[in-house]
Amino acid sequence: MRLGTPRELRPMRKAAGFTLIELLIGLVVLAILLAAAIPAFRTFIQNNRLDSQANNFVAAAQLARAEALKRGVDVTICSSNNGTSCGGNFRDGWIVIVDPGGANEFLVQSWPSPGADFQFNPNGGQVAFAPTGFSRAAVAATLDMTLAECSNNAARQIQVELTGRVASRRIACP
């Protein structure tokens, strides 16, 4: 058996890849970027949670108004702590009920509690819609919704006007 001579050996190729120092520098840069992004991501999640619950309440109010127009009777959206009757506060959930207190009273839909970290002002009560679709209130009804850790104008206000129009907007933390 004959051993190869230097001219018969193939030249070594240069290895491709990253060195340990390059990987460590990359990890440090990634850690710095994540440290800056995590607080913004937390605010993003809080805003989405508030928007979602505000949209749920607006949908409930719009459903109540539509049911009042369709059925020709009063329909109420109210806070509910059991999902079947009015009572408690909005933090426990809310329901849409047709002809409250009347002979034909029945539940249209219920929404579960948004969570203990949500705060509402006012905390309980109801909004009623007449068969015309107008609000039964003497003045426009407002509901402020915030998270317990309110920051960066992370509050929402839902307003039901006398005409029955329902709107949601961002407001400053109380």
Q: Quick: pLDDT tens for 110-122.
A: 999 888 888 888 8
Q: Which residue has the higher pLDDT, 122 or 30?
A: 30
Q: Which one-letter amino acid corresponds to residue 85?
A: S
pLDDT number for residue 99: 76
In whole angstroms, give the CA distance from residue 138 to residue 16: 76
Q: Which residue has the higher pLDDT, 170 or 149?
A: 170
pLDDT at 133 over 80: yes
Q: Is residue 32 part of a domain?
A: yes
CA nearest 58: which of 157, 166, 169, 171? Answer: 166
In whole angstroms, give the CA distance from residue 95 to residue 110: 4
Q: Is residue 5 part of a domain?
A: no
pLDDT number for residue 37: 87
In whole angstroms, give the CA distance from residue 105 to residue 96: 11
Q: Is residue 153 part of a domain?
A: yes
In whole angstroms, give the CA distance from residue 40 to residue 20: 31
Q: Which residues touch 77 (CB under 8 Å, ≥6 apart)? A: 60, 61, 64, 94, 95, 96, 97, 126, 127
Owner of token pair 């108004």:
65
Mean pLDDT of 110-139: 85
pLDDT number for residue 172: 81
What pLDDT band is residue 96 in, cutting at 50, 70 and 90? Answer: very high
Domain housing 167? 20-171
Q: Is residue 66 part of a domain?
A: yes
At 26, which CATH number? 3.55.40.10
The top-scoring range by mean pLDDT among 109-113, 142-146, 155-159 is: 109-113
Q: Fill in the DSSP letter of residue 150.
A: -
Q: Is residue 152 part of a domain?
A: yes
Peptide bond into 6 cis (omega under 30): no
pLDDT number for residue 30: 95
pTM for the whole thing?
0.77
pLDDT number for residue 6: 56
Structural domains of the chain, count = 1
Q: Is residue 12 part of a domain?
A: no
Q: Is residue 10 part of a domain?
A: no
Mean pLDDT of 20-34: 94
Q: Is residue 14 part of a domain?
A: no
Residue length, the chain? 174
